[in-house]
Structure 1
Amino acid sequence: MALGWKLHGDGKHLTPGEVVKPDERLSWPLMVGIGAQHVIAMFGATFVFPLVMGLDANLAVMMSGVATILFLLFVKGKVPSYVGSSASFVGAVVAIRAAGGGDATVTGALLAVGVALVVCGYVIHRLGVGILHRVFPPVVTGGVVMLIGFGMAYVAADVYWPKDPWVALLTMAATFVFVGLFRGFLGRIGVLLGLVFGFLLSWGWDLVGGPVLSPDDSGKMVEHFRVDLHAVAQADWIGLPSLHGPVFEASAVVLVLPVVIALIAENVGHVKAVGEMTGADVDGYMGRAVMADGVGTVVSTAVGGPATTTYAENIGVMAATKVYSTAAYYVAAVIAILFGLCPKFGALVAATPGGVLGGVTTVLYGMIGMLGAKIWIENRVNLSSPVNLVPIGAGIICAIGPVALPITGTFSLSGIALGTIVLLAGYHVLRAARRRDTLPATPDAAATTEPTARP
């Protein structure tokens, strides 16, 4: 069943190291708190990526909640995960807009990707998880999880941290304390506490020390207050996001379709990471998870929203809290939908200072990356083999760089998307070449390698 959870213990108290399983829950007030933490974790990316792509951010937040509910229903509550706006499409969308495409053309191309994901997910589901194991063995999935986490490092280091380095450092240190030393529920919401601490610190610093000098979005150094609530005051309490239908143009669809490869690998990596954390066998739900991503993307883009995908930030929250209850994700989804319908709440969360996000994302992205190493260790991946080591290393560097590969004058594969393709293709090409090198050259030679038959 996708709905219906057993109460974990008394629902109020957790001992250190205790785990809340996907089909369990704590008391509903506690689940609301954990669900809110998931919303905070995903909000920055789900809000920012649509803005970069020129789409309605409030609609993106609302549709992330809808897509998350669809995802949980598709996987029958076996894979706790949040679904939000995907960063993998930013480059392709910028290219579409550079070629003169409007909002409808962009969402039409993204909807086509959603359909492709549904088809791929169905094939995986029908043929069995064996095909995924062949394409995405532990060495690949661990590498993908690692490059997803570390590939987001530039966001923390180049975008958020420079906004206010000292606030970022203090927020990160506070998050260390909240997550690592606090016990019970407070430890479980350590990431949220770190963010609240950073917000209050920034507000107090504004009062005592005045504005900060830091780079704006264009890189120009400007003086400004850390906490700016003007947008909150001006925003409406209730408002429906702007909706529009998709328009399909072949050139735009062709431009964005290659991203499907990276999305499948990313989704598999996320689901594998969740399986590793929960100790559950999620192999049978891989196809469903990919289909669910596709369905969420189709539903979101059909009304003018962005493409959606499973979220690494929320996997990091699960790793920190050890609460894997899908009830938290249903709560998060409902909160996100309400946020999408309330521009004022969206403006408040969006007012989180960049330095605060720098401290929190540094912790989250690092934890995600280390989950990839955990997959390698538990599956005893041999990293001394060049077949494993070379493509993994190259893929991770491509993601961390981020390294870019120009495809056309206006479009390039870069970062996580390029790193995923390099890792996946490089591993399989080297593995196939090594297998051919070790095969006997002739049938006669093959015969000489057979063991002598027993009498």
Structure 2
Amino acid sequence: MSTFIGWTVHGDGRNVQPGAVVAPGERLSWPRTIGIGMQHVVAMFGATLLVPTLTHFPVNTTLLFSGLGTIIFLLLTRNKVPSYLGSSFAFIAPLTASQQYGVAAQLGGVVLTGVTLILVGLLVNAMGRRVIDAVMPPVVTGAIVALIGFNLAPTAVANFESQPLIGLVTLATILVLGVATRGMVSRLSILIGVVVGWVTAALTGGLAEGALEQIAATPWVGLPPLHTAQFHLSAILVTLPVLVVLIAENVGHVKAVGEMTGTDLDAYQGRALIGDGIATGLAGCFGGSGTTTYAENIGVMAATKAYSTAAYWVAAGFAILLAFIPKFGAIIFTIPVGVLGGACLVLYGLIGMLGVRIWQDNRVDFTNPANLTAAAVALIVGIGNLSLTIGSVQLEGIALGSVGVIVIYPLMRWAYTALGEGSYDGFRSRVG
């Protein structure tokens, strides 16, 4: 047995015995650990690249800060919580909705979201998870996640309609691979769909004029482009509701890894949130997409039975290396709008349905009018993109719906409790 930076070699370093797992504090031999780390890179690749592609953020910068963010997360959690911090899909809708404020203002929203997540992590570290459950019960969390996904449905449709053939090929590829295949192909269905759509566009003249020449002129090696953040209140208010998704994903990830490894990781929940917050805030400071713990990589861990954090150090290192290849980012930015439309029809819908899944998993009772009305109003505000201007601040669908459900739900619950079952019976008779 030997150790390296706290990792104990598992068994003979070559094999995992039936029924056993490689714990976070263990590792296999370095060649095998590097191989597993490369699998983690492949698993996170599609989703991590897709977010900056859709939001027009620098792809190489996002890769750089996803790798750095993963290292920060591993350090803060003392190598106890295996996770890769890739781009969060939840940022796609608010960043697209706030494009009129400019990249600097969009980044300001990402930074403030990260800072707020750090504060939540500190609170959880001091008081435990019960504080999250009290402020954001499942009915509220599900509504916010759902409206984030559904808010930009018109944008996805408009992009699809601009190049319907390319959009249809992209959409069909994603659906077929996602449903009819298993394993890594299924997990990479969106990335493969985008590639197939791009090739279709290249063959049918759907690429922008000069796109191939631009790729050829871009150097192989170079520094990732960096941007600075500015703080615009309207852009911040649109982006801040993503906090709910980041918390839900982070808490779920820590719990899932704990169950799979037979380890109680609740003591590290606050640290995990803080690490994610620092990674998101740091990325926003310099031009990268906000981060989250990646469910895609749980699949790799489940398949290999290797939950070693050493493999995530390897994955982070490879991501940082790829960030210094500008030609890679140039290829991503030639993806036509029809491809983005086909992919977003799936992505936005999946985010929206994640909110519905939160309701299902937590058995939210929609015969209760407090739950029903709060969620119903929030969804319509988000889907319809209702906007209100208060002074110089504009509250749009995502921000308005999120703030609304957080405020309305406790009031509705109080009113339902205070007025008693008689009011409930009357409500049910009115809605049938």
Residue 115 and residue 376 in structure 1: after superposition, are their counterparts in 2 closer, same or farther (change >3 A)? closer
Question: Does the 8 Å contact 2:44/2:297 carry over to 1?
Answer: yes
- CA change 1:357–1:72 in 2 (3 A) is farther
Q: 1:174 is matched with which residue?
A: 173
Hey, what does 1:199 align to over in structure 2? 195
Q: Aligned-pair distance for 1:330?
A: 5.3
Q: TM-score if structure 2 supplies the norm length?
A: 0.72
Show the 5 A alignment for 1:304-323: 304-306=286-288, 308-310=290-292, 315=295
Deviations 1:335-384 (A, max 9, x none): 44233221101112333343334333433443343333333223221011
Q: Which moved more, 1:115-124 or 1:189-198?
A: 189-198
Q: Give 1:134 shift.
A: 0.8
Q: Could you say if the C-alpha distance between residues 50 and 182 of structure 1 is closer, same or farther in structure 2, counting changes exceeding 3 Å?
A: closer
Aligned counterpart in structure 2 of residue 49 of structure 1, from 47, 55, 71 = 55
Residue 211 of structure 1 aligns with an amino acid whose one-letter code is G
Deviation at 1:239, TM superposition (A): 1.2
2:403 aligned residue: 421
The equivalent residue for 1:388 is: 371
Aligned to 1:117: 117
Q: Distance in 2 between matches of 1:377 and 1:174?
A: 29
SS at match of 1:288: helix
- Is the contact made by 2:81 and 2:257 (CA closer than 8 Å) also made in structure 1? no
Do residues 211 (structure 1) and 205 (structure 2) align? Answer: yes
What is the one-letter code of the residue matched to 2:199? W
Q: Partners in 2 of 1:11 and 1:405 — Cα distance? A: 60
SS of 1:239 mapped into structure 2: coil
1:65 paired residue number: 67
Q: TM-score, normalised by structure 1?
A: 0.69
What is the deviation of 1:163? 4.1
Q: Pairwise CA RMSD of aligned residues? A: 4.5
Whether 1:32 and 2:38 are equivalent positions in the alignment is yes
Select 1:266's aligned residue among 231, 245, 259: 245
The whole-number CA distance in structure 1 between the counterparts of 2:300 and 2:62 is 26
Contact 1:67 1:297 in 2 (8 A): yes
Give the secondary-structure state (helix, strand or coil) at the position aligned to 2:188.
helix
Q: Is residue 84–residue 297 contact of structure 2 (8 Å, CA) maintained in 1?
A: no
Give distance in 2, aligned partners of 1:375 and 1:301. 28
- Cα displacement (A) at 1:315: 4.5
Checking the alignment, whether the CA contact within 8 Å between 1:38 and 1:332 is kept in structure 2 is no
2:85 paired with 1:82: yes
CA distance in 2, matches of 1:205, 1:265: 37
Measured at CA, do residues 118 and 306 of structure 1 come closer, stay the same or move farther in structure 2, by a change above 3 Å? same
How far apart are the structure 2 equivalents of 1:106 and 1:197? Answer: 27
Task: Name the counterpart of 2:394.
Answer: 412
Say if 1:38 and 1:317, in contact at 8 Å, map to a contact too. Answer: yes
- What one-letter code is carried by the residue in structure 1 that aligns with 2:46? I
Return 166-175 or 191-200, whichever deviates more.
191-200
Is residue 2:134 matched to residue 1:134?
yes
Given the superposition, is the C-alpha separation of residues 6 and 422 from structure 1 closer, same or farther in structure 2, using an over 3 Å criterion?
A: farther
Change (3 A) 1:195 1:255: closer
Which runs of 5 or more residues in structure 2 are unaligned?
422-432
Task: Go from structure 1 to structure 2 and tell me whether the alpha carbon gap of 1:436 and 1:74 turns closer, same or farther (over 3 Å shift).
Answer: farther
Write the letter of the residue equivalent to 1:147. L
Q: Cα gap change, 1:233/1:198 in structure 2, threshold over 3 Å: closer, same or farther?
A: same
State how far apart, in whole Å, the 2-side matches of 1:300 and 1:117 are. 14
Runs of 5+ unmatched residues, structure 1: 13-19, 213-223, 440-455
Distance 1:373 1:21 in 2: 34
Match of 2:216? 233
Residue number among 335, 345, 361 corresponding to 1:362 in the alignment:
345
Aligned length: 398
Amino acid at match of 1:63: F
Confirm or deny: 8 A CA contact 1:47 1:61 kept in the other structure.
no
